[in-house]
Amino acid sequence: MRDLAGGPRVLLKRLRELMAEPLEPQERLDRIVHDIAQNMVAEVCSLYILRADSVLELYATEGLNPSSVHLAQLRLGQGLVGTIAASARALNLPDAQEHPAFTYLPETGEEIYNSFLGVPVLRAGRTLGVLVVQNRTHRHYREDEVEALETTAMVIAEMIATGDLARLTRPGLELDLRRPVSFKGLSFNEGVGLGHVVLHEPRIVVTNLFNEDSDEEIGRLEKALSSLRLSIDDMLSRREVAFEGEHREVLEAYRMFANDRGWVRRLEEAVRNGLTAEAAVEKVQSDMRARMLHMTDPYLRERMSDFDDLANRLLRQLMGRSPDDIASSLPKDAIIVARSMGAAELLDYPRDKLRGLVLEDGAVTSHVVIVARAMGIPVAGQVKGAVSMAENGDAIIVDGDEGSIHLRPQQDLEAAYAEKARFRARRQELYRELRNKPSLTKDGVAIDLMMNAGLAVDLPQLAEAGAAGIGLFRTELQFMVASTFPRAEAQERLYRDVLDAAKGKPVTFRTIDIGGDKVLPYFKASVVEENPALGWRAIRLTLDRPGLLRSQIRALLKAAGGRELRVMLPMVTELGEIAQAREIIDREVRHLSRFAHHLPTSLKLGAMLEVPSLLWQLDELMQAVDFVSVGSNDLFQFVMATDRGNTQLSDRFDPLSVPFLRVLKHVADAGHRTHTPVTLCGELAGRPISAMALVGLGYRSISMSPASIGPVKAMLAELPLGELKALMADNLAGPAANLPMRALLHTFADDRGIPL
């Protein structure tokens, strides 16, 4: 084969001319494979396109039997071509027929060819087809030849993406790019959303692929890289990490990538092969994403997200795009699709246009999910692959009940979900009718349904949901969405607004609960913890940094002047922590009294029961505080030794299992025995089936997301509590305790027409 110095440039120049000519799609493909074969001195060049039914169809060939075009087919994973498509990796073989994956297609007449080079046709890391060259001689194709074929494949990918090949598709068979696709993830917030995709960090679509002057493009690339590096250095030097929604360590990784010579060299090579700087970034980004998606190491997979973000920033630099461009053209039914995002970033989107959120990462307790839940939008999480398979403007359905999404759904599926959404809307109307009615069981027992909150955006929902008060106000969310520690004045203003909005209803403020999975980008721990969930967090942290707790307590005392103040301490492990916190509170009360500040009419101090050690100090705990709140999320995590963010374990243990229900009953009984109010705050309270169980255990106050109050109140109105208590008492003791409680509760509800 001849020396290919300048070969890729000549080939790309010819492709550019072909793309500009007014040709029919099949003729253009035929000319493309002919010119590739001629340029690479190959006897065969073939293009296979991936269809929606996961079949690779031969769309054009030079050298094989021309009558096999649109007839020769391979399944995804079948043969060498199917292997390349499934793995998104090139194959370079001197003797293809010796490879274990080789499959002979007699209609093509390819048995006489030995050497084989095949590359995936990739777009955004997603395989759309396979491009192959073959020769009779036994030879190993050179690295520059592989690079030339990969660059050509990228141009073909954009051709597929523009829809030029749609006319060549047989009726009933769509190309892979536009096919409907469904993903199953985890339910992070209930509800159904129908709308159109808005990629949180949209892939920049490169339309200008070919350069006229490589040296000029290299100059543009170097200028953009320099600008990118300066912006990262500037963020690091000013520590404005939260502005970008990233942690400092991530920006350090970005700086490492931006200065990586290997990455820059690959970009420069792609430009010298004839691509524009933007197309070079797109090609290298797509190649690297396709390779790294197959890595099993979670650390390396996480680095891929860092690299993706960096490449998108570089593309925006090159194309003069602002990250705010997407917000200005947001559709009225936007469903945000993101790998991950911060709570502040979600709040940047106008609430009235949001219909749902899809996350590839995250956990049900991530603060962005907590904010989304407060906004009342359905959330599906751990939906791997959603970002690369979606395009801005694609129709999408988010099923928050099941944790699934449907991209580009078929008409009948969309109609079914539209009816489901209408049904939910009718139910919500029913719940609104219930909001001003008392929360009573069928046999007249009053249950206080409180709501969880944490931001100003939550406050209007107190009246809309008909909540009896705020059972948990997460004060840390104000810290999480800020770029620096909120000043005492800002804290006081928020707390006063919360109490004003409550209009006399009780509000329980939890002191700042950071650490674990709640990281403040501007607050660095001195030690990296192997297991932060069991480490320096919540009350442990604030007692070690008393200035934090003192300024928050002072803000709370001033905001609650003339009203009752309820303060709750998170993650209490032993009673000495309560005594230390009470001493700090008393000191602040004395300080404000000295300066004649208007103080609360009463101050009630409570503790969150999340750590199992308190189960053996219950009577002493009830005497040490004015009230207790059970944090069911953390308590379940610690009792069952289950990391709640671990998706492999998330469905393994049931919170309605007998052991955990016995723990919860033990706490409720202690509250009744000592006449200490006990509330449960957590995911358990927000689902009618588990709320029913809690009421049956003896809880008379539960706190949940505002959207859950209507369904739980509707359930209570049909609940014969006396019968439920007898059922649970029988089945939590003795041999019957081996029966699955969830199934028993469902049967109980079904038999009595209780809506769940």
- For tokens 């106000």, the residue is 473
CATH superfamily of 214-322: PtsI, HPr-binding domain (1.10.274.10)
pLDDT at 731 over 50: yes
Cα separation, 385 vs 301, whole angstroms: 12
Q: Where are the domains of the chain?
A: 7-178, 181-201+326-424, 214-322, 435-752
Going by pLDDT thresholds of 50, 70 and 90, the confidence category of residue 393 is confident
Range from 32-41, 281-290, 473-482, 498-507 that averages highest in pLDDT: 498-507
Give the contacts of 54 (CB within 8 A, at least 6 positions apart).
75, 76, 176
Return the exposure string of 50-87: e unless at least 16 CB atoms fall within 10 Å of the residue's CB, then b.
bbbeebbbbbbbbbbbeebbeebbbebebbbbbbbbbb
Q: Which of the four pLDDT bands, split at 50, 70 and 90, describes residue 4? A: very low
For residue 172, the model assigns a pLDDT of 60
| Residue carrying the six token digits 């250095």 | 233
DSSP 254-298: HHHHHT-HHHHHHHHHHHHTTB-HHHHHHHHHHHHHHHHTT---H
**Which of 132-141, 181-190, 577-586, 696-705 has the weakest average pLDDT?**
181-190
Q: Are 91 and 113 in contact (CB under 8 A)?
A: no
CB-based contact 476:453 (threshold 8 Å): no
- Output the CATH code of domain 7-178: 3.30.450.40
Active site residues: 367, 681
Give me the pLDDT at residue 517, please. 60
* pLDDT digit string, tens, across residues 534-580: 888 889 989 998 999 999 999 999 999 999 999 999 999 999 999 99
In this predicted structure, what is the pLDDT of residue 146?
87
Q: Is the pLDDT of residue 126 over 70?
A: yes
The hierarchical CATH code for the domain 435-752 is 3.20.20.60
Say what the pLDDT of residue 330 is.
82
Residues 206-220: what's their mean pLDDT? 82
20 φ, ψ (degrees, to nearest 5): -85, -20
pTM above 0.95, yes or no: no
- How distant, in Å, are the alpha carbons of 315, 378, 381, 500 from that of 503? 51, 29, 36, 5
CA distances for 515 relative to 374, 478, 540, 644, angstroms: 21, 15, 10, 15
Q: Per residue in 419-470, pLDDT tens?
A: 888 877 777 777 888 888 899 999 999 999 999 988 776 788 888 888 999 9
How many whole angstroms separate alpha carbon 616 and alpha carbon 677?
Answer: 18
Please report the pLDDT score of residue 239 as a whole number.
Answer: 42
Alpha-carbon span 394 to 381, nearest angstrom: 19
- What pLDDT score does 734 carry? 65
More confident residue, 343 or 657: 657
| 201 confidence band (pLDDT: 50, 70, 90) | low
DSSP code of residue 205: P
**647 band by pLDDT with thresholds 50, 70 and 90:** low
For the chain, what is the mean pLDDT? 83
pLDDT band, residue 694 (cuts 50/70/90): very high
pLDDT recorded at residue 559: 96
Instruction: Calculate the CA 511 to chain-centre distance.
Output: 27
Is the pLDDT score of 74 beyond 80?
yes
| Topology of the domain covering 181-201+326-424 | Glucose Oxidase; domain 1 (3.50.30)
Kindly report, residue by residue over 479-522, the tens digit of the pLDDT.
876 667 888 998 999 999 999 999 999 999 999 988 766 666 56
Which amino acid type is present at position 475?
A: T
- Is the model's pLDDT at 321 over the cut of 90? no
Q: What percent of the chain has pLDDT over 90?
A: 36
For residue 122, the model assigns a pLDDT of 85
Percent of all residues in the chain with a pLDDT value above 70, rounded to a whole number: 83
Region of 125 (left: φ > 0; alpha: ψ -120 to 50; beta: rest) is left
Q: What is the pLDDT of residues 58-69, one digit of tens each?
A: 999 999 988 999
pLDDT for residue 298 is more than 60:
no
